[in-house]
Structure 1
Amino acid sequence: MAASFGRDFWEEAFDRFERSGLTVAEFCEVEGCSVPTFYAWRKRIGAQGQPKFTELVVERAAESSSIEIELSGGERLRLTGVVDADNLQTVLRCLEQASC
């Protein structure tokens, strides 16, 4: 019976539960444990503050690039390197206001 298993079993069981899409009652029926035992172990493990780690995928920074904008008066604005979208939007708003 699952209730007699220790911490390692329950940590793995909680991972399986998260992936299962089942309700607690359905999961416990499949695993052969009682709902109260499930909750007791979840509380016990949670109270000990075991951190859970999630894998992070760090994307590589964009290669240097440039953006060139031709303004209505024929002037050109060239931005090089990595351009932050919010900063670009601010520059365009300022240019729009200055041309009015």
Structure 2
Amino acid sequence: MSKNDKIQYWQRIFQQQTESKLTKAEFCKTNDLTLSTFYAWTKKLNPHSSSTKQKVVPLIFPEIKPDQPLTLALPNGYLFSFPASLAPSKLQQFLRVLSA
């Protein structure tokens, strides 16, 4: 496959993912693609895209029952679960590690 063919292939993949309304992680899993390759091609084809920039996302905490876990879903498909009793300072420490 030539370089131009690869570029056209990945541009079609990105279009299909957008049209599918699935998250990138769901789309990659459904289509037997690795998420890391998907993001690598995103960066390669559009190095100044918004996916390479950090975004501030507001955290809205609904009323949580004591036995209900707090789940953090990242855009790259990773999910982290914490006990609802986790001290906010511990969550801040975790988030600082992720942003480092």
TM-score range (shorter-chain normalised) is 0.3 to 0.5
Answer with 1 or 2: which has the greater Rg.
Answer: 1
TM-score (norm 2): 0.41
Please report the TM-score for the alignment, with normalisation by the length of structure 1: 0.41
